């Protein structure tokens, strides 16, 4: 059964993007003692480890945004937060489960990490390095908003070891950028991209969103052509949703419904982009991503997480997965800072996973790649995923969304374009019809 939000063609209020399992609504403060217990246990044969740093500042809040971000903080507020972020990293660095482990990947997310000045960024990294370095990381990703960039800042970002720069373009049409509350305009995209290439990042990703308010066939096709002309190392395309706490969603609930494209239209637009980039020599890497085949086309962060890696999420409202337990930080500014000031981890809610939930989590996340390798699950979990979930696979095949070939389950293009709506079919019964967030 598909997510409720995708059952109808209309884009209604609700989250469709599945980023974890079990759903966040099942997490609670009652499970926090289990987080603390497992962090105190030394890890035996631990999986790869990643670090997520949440930089929650933006010049302007996008009308479709549902992340914990702030647009009203001054320089002193930013410095106070960065100091807290550093101290949170220090708290983790000496815990028995994490002590001495090296990072496989590091991810600066937001908000807008490039909101930080060169001085703020260099100060943050210098302080973090006193406690935990990422010299051995295979990938360091940094999200950027085009209008916050200058060439010296980009050089500073490269100098801290960033290997993958992700540029939040979203669209090239200025009217659409304005309608959707984006802070930048197209001229800033072109200027920033020239600097990005001059500085020479090993991998450059561009984000687009299909179905922004004001979108038309002509405008979308023009945006895809401009993105293709940039020849990025990878392209990530999301389909606009209306999560409950976004500006557009609040307007919709009050009867001022924004005109958002239907799900079939959004899937058609993403498919158009796929076709244009495939014709340009790219390959489909997931339901959202195309890559230019090269040694620079890997996604260490994504692939590690989708194969069960540990990740320490730092910053207000950040999510973590360590030692088989999901947990999230406090999501209010003062509460987060107060916890750090008290010398404690700023934990809010958690959920330890059963063995079956760990299996389902990896299954649904890897299905976003468009294929499932049965041997992987047989070796890691001792489970025949085709037999265990036969009813779901048979239904997907009958509906034209999946096929089986030599032990590998493949999604068709139509299945891949709607993959998030298919994933709840694999959820345990108690999570089938609950609010995801």
In angstroms, how far is CA 88 from the centroid of its own chain?
21
Asked if residue 106 lies in contact with residue 141, where contact means CB atoms within 8 angstroms, the answer is yes
- Quick check: do 1-21+355-437 and 23-304 share a fold? no
Domain spanning 23-304, CATH class: alpha beta
Orientation angle between helical segments 118-129 and 75-93, nearest 10 degrees: 20
User: How far is 198 from 17, CA to CA, in rounded Å?
Assistant: 34
Beta-carbon contacts of residue 189 (< 8 Å; ≥ 6 apart): 146, 167, 169, 172
- Output 433 or 365, whichever has higher pLDDT: 365
- ω into 412 cis (within 30 of 0): no
**Average of per-residue pLDDT across 184-202:** 97
Take residue 66 and report the two structure tokens written for it.
């549902």
Helix spans in 94-231 (H): 118-129, 151-159, 174-179, 186-199, 217-230
User: Helical H runs in 231-318?
Assistant: 247-253, 263-279, 300-306
Q: What is the pLDDT of residue 422?
A: 96
As a 3-state breakdown, the chain gives helix, strand, coil percent values, each rounded to 5, of 45, 20, 40
Confidence bin at 7 (pLDDT 50/70/90): low
Structure tokens at 320: 């973590």
Question: At residue 129, does pLDDT exceed 70?
Answer: yes
CATH annotation of 1-21+355-437 = 1.10.10.920
**Domain boundaries, given as residue ranges, for the chain:** 1-21+355-437, 23-304
Q: Residue 169 is inside which H or E element, if any?
A: strand 164-170
Tell me the pLDDT tens digit for each residue of 57-96.
999 999 888 888 999 999 999 999 999 999 999 999 999 9
With a cut of 80, say whether residue 174 has pLDDT above it.
yes
In the numeric block, which tokens belong to residue 305?
Answer: 């997480």
State the first-to-last Cα distance of the chain, in angstroms, to the nearest integer. 18
d(CA 351, CA 23): 10
Q: What is the torsional sign of CA 125, 130, 134, 136?
A: positive
At residue 257, the pLDDT reads: 67
- What would the pLDDT profile of 41-66 be if each residue is shown by its tens digit? 999 999 999 999 999 999 999 988 88
Q: Cα dist. 188→193, 266, 347 in Å?
A: 8, 26, 38
Please, what's the b/e burial string for 380-402 (b: 16 or more CB within 10 A of its CB; e: otherwise)?
ebebebbebbeebbeebeeeebb
């Amino acid at each position: 059964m598909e997510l409720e939000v995708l059952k109808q063609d209309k884009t209604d209020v609700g989250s469709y993007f599945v980023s974890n399992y079990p759903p966040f609504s099942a997490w609670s403060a009652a499970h926090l003692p289990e987080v603390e217990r497992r962090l105190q246990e030394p890890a035996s044969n631990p999986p790869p480890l990643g670090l997520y740093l949440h930089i929650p500042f933006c010049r302007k809040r996008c009308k479709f945004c549902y992340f914990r971000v702030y647009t009203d903080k001054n320089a002193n507020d930013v410095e106070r937060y960065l100091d807290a972020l550093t101290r949170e990293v220090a708290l983790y660095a000496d815990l028995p489960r994490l002590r001495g482990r090296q990072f496989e990947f590091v991810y600066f997310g937001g908000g807008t990490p490039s909101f930080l000045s060169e001085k703020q960024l260099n100060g943050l990294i210098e302080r973090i390095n006193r406690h935990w370095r990422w010299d051995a990381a295979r990938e360091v990703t940094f999200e950027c908003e085009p209008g916050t960039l200058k060439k010296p800042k980009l050089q500073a970002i490269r100098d801290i070891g960033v290997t993958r720069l992700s540029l939040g373009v979203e669209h090239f049409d200025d009217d659409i950028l304005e309608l959707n509350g984006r802070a930048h305009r197209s001229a800033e995209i072109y200027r920033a991209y020239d600097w990005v290439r001059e500085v020479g990042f090993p991998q450059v990703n561009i984000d687009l969103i299909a179905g922004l308010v004001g979108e038309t066939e002509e405008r979308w096709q023009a945006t895809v052509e401009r993105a293709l002309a940039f020849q990025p190392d990878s392209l990530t395309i999301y389909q606009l949703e209306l999560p409950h706490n976004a500006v557009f969603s609040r307007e919709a609930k009050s009867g001022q419904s924004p005109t958002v494209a239907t799900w079939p239209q959004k899937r058609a637009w993403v498919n158009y982009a796929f076709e244009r980039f495939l014709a340009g020599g790219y390959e489909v890497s997931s339901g959202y991503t195309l890559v230019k085949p090269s040694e620079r086309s890997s996604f260490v962060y994504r692939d590690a997480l989708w194969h069960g890696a540990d990740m320490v999420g730092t910053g207000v409202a950040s999510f973590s997965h360590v030692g088989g337990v999901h947990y999230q930080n406090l999501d209010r500014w003062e509460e987060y800072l107060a916890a750090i000031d008290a010398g404690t981890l700023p934990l809010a809610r958690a959920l330890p996973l059963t063995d079956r939930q760990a299996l389902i989590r990896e299954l649904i996340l890897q299905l976003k790649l468009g294929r499932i390798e049965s041997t992987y699950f047989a070796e890691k979990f001792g489970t025949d995923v085709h037999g265990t979930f036969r009813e779901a696979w048979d239904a997907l095949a009958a509906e034209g969304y999946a096929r089986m070939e030599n032990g590998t389950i493949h999604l068709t293009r139509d299945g891949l374009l709607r993959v998030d709506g298919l994933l709840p079919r694999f959820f345990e019964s108690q999570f089938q019809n609950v609010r995801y967030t």
